Amino acid sequence: MDELDRRILTRLQVDSGRPVAALADEVGLSTSACHRRVRLLEEKGLVAGYAARLNPEALGLTIEVFVDISLSGQDEKTLAVFEKAVERQPEILECWLTAGRADYHLHIMARDMGDYDRIHRHVLSRLPGVASMHTRFALRRIKPFRGYPVA
C-alpha cells in the first residue's frame, strides 16, 4: 500500500458515495487509474464494504447507552448462548467481548428513557446467563468515529 492508496482510503472513509471522478481529482489520478486502485483495495480486503451513515437524531434515537454485562460463567456454552441471543436483538447495535471487569460491552440507542426502559425490561433482562449489568448514558459525543488511521 502506497501513499496514493492511503489517500484514497482516507477519503473513502469520509464519503464513499462520491463519484470516482471526484475522488480521482482529490487524490491526483485519472478516473480509470483511481477506479482500478479502488477495486484492488476492495479485492485485498482493505475496503470491507460501503454503507450510509444515518443520523440517529433524525431517526428519533436521542439517548446513547453503553451497557457492561458480566455473565454467570465463562464456559464456552454460556458465551455462545449469550452471543447468539445478542445477535437476534436489533436494539443492540454493537457487542464486544472484553477483558476486565465485564465480559461484554454493548452499544444501544433509544428514543427516550421510556424506550430504554422497554429495552432494559424486554431485551437486556432476558439475555441468558447475565449475572450483572452496569449501564452508562452518554451525555455528549466529544469525538465521533471518522475512520481508521491509514497513515
The answer to whether position 54 is within a domain reads no
What span, in angstroms and rounded, lies between the C-alpha atoms of 75 and 79? 6
Residue 84 lies in a domain: yes
Contacts of 56 (CB under 8 A, 6+ apart): 62, 64, 109
- Residue 147: per-residue pLDDT: 92
Asked if residue 122 is part of any domain, the answer here is yes
Q: What is the pLDDT of residue 67?
A: 98
Same domain, 74 and 36: no
Please, what is the Cα angle at 138 between 137 and 143, to 5 degrees? Answer: 160
Q: Is residue 82 part of a domain?
A: yes
pLDDT tens string 72-122: 999 999 999 999 999 999 999 999 999 999 999 999 999 999 999 999 999
Q: Within this chain, do residues 17 and 75 fall inside the same structural domain, yes or no?
A: no
Residues 84 and 20 placed together within one structural domain of the fold: no
Asked if residue 143 is part of any domain, the answer here is no
Q: What is the CATH number of the domain that holds 117?
A: 3.30.70.920
Residue 53 lies in a domain: no
pLDDT of residue 134: 98
CATH number at residue 23: 1.10.10.10
> What pTM does this model have?
0.86
Give the count of domains, the chain: 2
Q: pLDDT tens digits for 10-52? A: 999 999 999 999 999 999 999 999 999 999 999 999 999 999 9
pLDDT in tens, 117-151: 999 999 999 999 999 999 999 999 999 998 999 97
Residues 27 and 92 in one domain: no
Grid coordinates representing 20 are 470516482
* 145 found inside a domain: no
Same domain, 70 and 128: yes
* Domain limits for position 39: 3-43
73 and 101 together in one domain: yes
